[in-house]
Amino acid sequence: MKTRILGTNGPEVSALGLGCMGLSFGYGPATDTADAIALIRAAHDRGVTFFDTAEAYGATNEELLGDAVAAFRSDVVLATKFGFKGGGPAGGMDSSPARIREVTEQSLRRLKTDYIDILYQHRVDPNVPIEDVAGTVRDLIAEGKVRHFGLSEAGVETIRRAHAVQPVAALQSEYSMFTRDVEAEILPVLEELGIGFVPFSPLGKGFLTGKIDAATTFGDGDIRSTLPRFQDEARAANAKLVALIGEIAACKTATPAQVALAWLLAQKPWIVPIPGTTKLHRLEENIGGADVALMPEDLQTLAETLAKQPVVGARYNAQMMKAVGK
């Protein structure tokens, strides 16, 4: 797989990474640990060198990732995140310097590593100045425990203030043909400052695969059941967009998911999507997206498609939106 550099000073990684959240959090029952480890190793065998986890996904998520990459740790880039009281979103925000240090030590143990390649603030904490957050990570970098600083779902002001204290290597936020909020203000600032961008949910939480329609049901523990754009009427409307993307995919002898990932890769050379999956055949399909070449005329057709078929429904519910874009 081709590689990309995250921003000006970030690490070199595979053009597509692997988001590990869904292996144990957010989309229903956890994947069997042995199967999850096998999937991560299969991703590495196919050229993936960038793996994303977080304290908030549960200790198991970091532990299985650490076990999976132990034999080739120096060949991969591991990213994890801090930012919540007690380790989960339900506890509220906590990016106090003491908490950052505590989480870092826990993550190092669970990942079975001496250093974290990218340490992200998972969500902006309104009660802790971002300068204190950046300064703490700066100190961890000086101590050799962390190599790069990242932010997630941060707004322009926060990005600028953090970057002034400790250069930000990457911002991780949602971005896809299904969610394009970052285009107006965030991407220009990242380009200006030389910060890489890591889109999570690059397949619209599965919607852009073409496998979700008005008849789809979501099991217990699946966050999509609470999201406005996954409710019945919104799903029916949004299926029309996926059908149009599918027409373009057919012309490229590709799948809608592969076109969605290729579209992201075509936006900027410092964008590295991290699609997640629990299935080997989906992993291989996603990786194939890095080989789909979209020509200018393809991108123009997609732009026209997105303009005439806007996405219906907000991406998060009201409670979740409170933690975004500060």
Where are the chain's structural domains? 3-321
**Is 115 annotated in the active site?**
no
Helix (H, G, I), strand (E, B) or coil at 108: helix
pLDDT of residue 172: 98
pLDDT of residue 170: 98
Residue 158 CB neighbours (<10 A): 20
Q: What would the pLDDT profile of 47-74 be if each residue is shown by its tens digit?
A: 999 999 999 999 999 999 999 999 999 9
Are 69 and 38 within 8 A, CB to CB? no
Residue 76 CB neighbours (<10 A): 23
What does pTM read for this prediction? Answer: 0.94
Active-site position among 27, 57, 120, 316? 57
CATH architecture of 3-321: Alpha-Beta Barrel (3.20)
Q: b vs e for 223-253, b when ≥16 Cβ sit within 10 Å of the residue's Cβ? A: bbeebebbeeebbebbbebbebbbebbeeee
Determine which of 42-56, 181-195, 237-251 has the lowest per-residue pLDDT on average: 237-251
Are 275 and 286 within 8 A, CB to CB? yes
- Please, which residues have CB within 8 angstroms of residue 300's CB and are 6 or more apart in sequence? none
